[in-house]
Amino acid sequence: MSNSQEEKRNEPFRIAIIGGGIGGLFCALAIHHHHHHHHQSTTPPSQDGNIDGVNKSKRAIQIDVYEQAPEYREIGAGVGVGINAARLLHRLGLGPGLVMVAGRRQGTWFTFRRFEDSGEVVSIPDADAEPGDVRQSPCARSDLLELFLAAGAAGLHTEKACAGVTALDDDVDGAKGKVEVRFRDGTSTIADLVVGCDGVHSVVRDQFVTDANNKSVESGMIAYRGIVPTSALAQDWPFAHWSNIWVAKHRHFLSYPIADNTQLNVVAFVTKRLGGGRAINDAAEIESNKYKNIRESWSSLCDREEVVADFAGFDAPVQRVIGLMDERPGRWKINDHEPLGRWHFAGGRVVLVGDAAHAMLPHMGAGAGQSIEDGWILGRVVAEYLEGGSSSSSNERFKSLESTMQFYQDIRLPRAQKVQAASRVGGNLYELQTEEMSRLSYEDCLPVLAESMRQRMKFVWSEDVDDSYNRMREE
Ligand SMILES: Cc1cc2nc3c(=O)[nH]c(=O)nc-3n(C[C@H](O)[C@H](O)[C@H](O)COP(=O)(O)OP(=O)(O)OC[C@H]3O[C@@H](n4cnc5c(N)ncnc54)[C@H](O)[C@@H]3O)c2cc1C
């Protein structure tokens, strides 16, 4: 081995993760886990990122997460972690922590109910037929982030907003073949691999995807968000569990338990414009014009009176829940993103994960789960790539970073985009406004909803991404 090759081998493979949300933090854990799984760690974490040492013949890695926010605050309410994603957290050793912070659905994913009298339309079982404690795990987003942070696989750098990245193709200071990451504070860093986990407004994505299809899409729906204590509702709560969706034309009121069932997460959806286009009525036209220029945001608020007005006529339990919401609940515009054709750039040195790659509507409760699946698979391919370099692997696809990232995309893109498309349909189903339903009365819509719900979540939950990975790896 020449001196420079020797030097390269001794240098850790540097991974810069942009965005420390659910996708970014889980991705750091998964990369660390899979690398560690293949090798014994010998080097303790450094101050500056976590260097995971390996035995002498294998390359070490260093993982850094760059998050724009100054601190982790309690923004955001509940997120669904489907059984497909819960399984991966358990494999990573986070099972006990997840069980502690998740809500329990008591066998029912959701019961769909008539808005005016809570009569049952259909109950969907939660598909918990797994060994041990693996189950559907709805959580407060902040609890999940805390769980990931405590597991600490990476050096975390807050107040580091990425401004852009540059693939270095000239040999300046030996950085040829690497990527420079520039931050808004004027600083920069160099990495071998940049993972864009910077969410729906991703700057990493926007730098590389410049075609007209790279745009956020308005669903025409808004959602009011809040968290209320179950203790204030427990007395005289007329249902056997906390997972209910009350449906009306153009409105649905959804609730599920988080935080060990001490809190009820509430998301109350209202369509103002069908498919983002025609307003459903004159009042909605006037109202939605008010939001026209509001960028979709996870932190905008409104007056509770707006929730009261939009859910007038809903049954008493719904009115009780609304009465317990903050005076200033969250009000979010519900948007997604057009599907992308490509998730990796600059010869595989830049890759997308989570909402940056496939921002979806929340109606399958699957966005966080898809970003967790991405992180898991990215962890597996990175470990194989780093092994491939040591010639122990004969699998051609891990010989270059580009073919490695293409394999990640081949596994993840079709599935994430299937969930993304199904989420669009889901919202219109719950609001009884699919094309078929738009011709039907409220009463006639309900059996259509019931029939369609019995099947449509199965493909999300039943997939074990490790099985797909192992199968596709041998193809
Ligand atoms: C504050 C917040 C609250 C949310 N609350 C909910 C909720 O209650 N329910 C729900 O279903 N979903 C919520 N989501 C979305 C949900 O977390 C994601 O849909 C899903 O988990 C996929 O995660 P992600 O990591 O891809 O994206 P996100 O969770 O959106 O994470 C992206 C991260 O990147 C950071 N970031 C963005 N731009 C830059 C940049 N230029 N440089 C560095 N860092 C950057 C952001 O601050 C954020 O931490 C929320 C997202 C955010 C950011």
DSSP line for 344-367: EEGGGTEEE-THHHH---GGGS-H
Give buried/exposed letters for 70-103 (b at 16+ CB in 10 A, else e): eebeeebbbbbbbbbbbbbbbebebbebbbebbb
Find out whether the beta carbon of 179 lies less than 6 Å from any atom of ligand 1: no
141 lines ligand 1 (CB under 6 A): yes
Expressed in angstroms and rounded, the spacing between residue 139 Cα and the centre of ligand 1 is 15
- The answer to whether 446 and 121 have CB atoms below 8 angstroms apart is yes
421 CA to centre of ligand 1 in angstroms: 20
CA 221 to centroid of ligand 1, rounded, Å: 19
387 Cβ inside 6 Å of ligand 1: no
The owner of tokens 């991404």 is 465
Structure confidence at residue 389 (pLDDT)? 53
Ligand 1 centroid to 25 CA: how many Å? 11
- Structure confidence at residue 395 (pLDDT): 86
Atom 38 in ligand 1: residue holding the nearest Cα: 198
Alpha carbon distance 331, 223 (integer Å): 6
Ligand 1 nearest atom to the CA of residue 359, by list position: 19
* Ligand 1 lined by 330 (C-beta under 6 Å): no
Residue to mutate (ligand 1; options 75, 79, 156, 343; most atoms within 8 A of CB): 79
Find the distance separating the first CA and the last CA of the chain, reported in whole Å.
33
Count other Cβ atoms within 10 Å, centred on residue 412.
25
Q: H or E stretch including 30?
A: helix 22-38
Taking CA 365 as the corner, what is the angle to CA 359 and CA 367, rounded to the nearest 5 degrees?
25
99 lines ligand 1 (CB under 6 A): no
Distance 431 CA to ligand 1 centre (A): 26
* Backbone phi, psi, residue 252, to 5°: -150, 140
From the CA of 368, how far away is ligand 1's center (Å)?
A: 9
d(CA 399, CA 380): 14
- In Å, the largest CA–CA distance within the chain is 77
The CA distance from 375 to 324, in Å, is 37
Helix (H, G, I), strand (E, B) or coil at 266: strand
> pLDDT at position 8, please?
60
- Choose which residue among 201, 298, 353, 360 to substitute to test ligand 1 binding: the one with the highest number of ligand atoms within 8 A of its C-beta: 298
Instruction: Supply the residue whose CA is at minimum distance from atom 39 of ligand 1.
Output: 198
- Residue 373 CB–ligand 1 contact under 6 Å: no
276 neighbors 216 (Cβ within 8 angstroms)? no
82 CA from centroid of ligand 1 (Å): 18
pLDDT at 313: 97
Determine the pLDDT at residue 121: 98
277 class by beta-carbon count within 10 Å (0-12 exposed, 13-18 middle, 19+ buried) = exposed
Q: For residue 6, what are the contacts with CB-CB under 8 A and spacing of at least 6? A: none
C-alpha of residue 22 to centroid of ligand 1, in Å? 7
How far is ligand 1, taken at its centre, from the CA of residue 283, in Å?
A: 32
The angle that helices 141-151 and 22-38 make with each other, rounded to 10 degrees, is 30
Is 148's C-beta closer than 6 angstroms to any atom of ligand 1?
A: no
3-state class of 146 per DSSP? helix
Helix (H) or strand (E) holding 336: strand 330-337
Cα radius of gyration (the chain)? 23
β-sheet with 188-191: strand ranges across: 162-167, 179-183, 188-191
Pocket flag, ligand 1, residue 21 (CB < 6 Å): yes
Looking from the CA of residue 24, the nearest atom of ligand 1 is 25
C-alpha 428 – ligand 1 centre gap (Å): 24
- Tokens 């001196």 identify what position? 3
How many angstroms is it from 332 CA to the middle of ligand 1? 13
| Strand partners of residue 247 | 114, 252
Answer whether 101 contacts ligand 1 (Cβ < 6 A).
no
Rounded to whole angstroms, how far apart are CA atoms 370 and 374? 6
Q: Is the CB of 77 under 6 A from ligand 1?
A: yes
Closest CA to 80 of 456, 347, 367: 367
List the pLDDT tens digit at each of the 475 positions of the chain: 444 555 566 789 999 999 999 999 999 999 999 998 764 333 334 444 555 544 445 689 999 999 999 887 766 689 999 999 999 999 999 999 999 999 999 899 999 999 999 999 999 998 766 777 899 999 999 999 999 999 987 889 999 999 999 999 877 677 789 999 999 999 999 999 999 999 999 999 999 999 988 888 889 999 999 999 999 999 999 999 999 999 999 999 999 999 999 999 999 999 988 776 777 777 777 676 666 655 556 678 889 999 999 999 999 999 999 999 999 999 888 999 999 999 999 999 999 999 999 999 999 999 999 999 999 999 999 999 998 755 555 788 999 999 999 999 999 999 999 999 999 999 999 999 999 999 999 999 999 999 999 999 999 999 999 999 999 998 8
CA pseudo-torsion sign 318, 321, 323, 328: negative
Q: How far is CA 219 from CA 84, 365, 386, 439, in A?
A: 26, 16, 42, 20
Whole-number pLDDT of residue 7 = 56
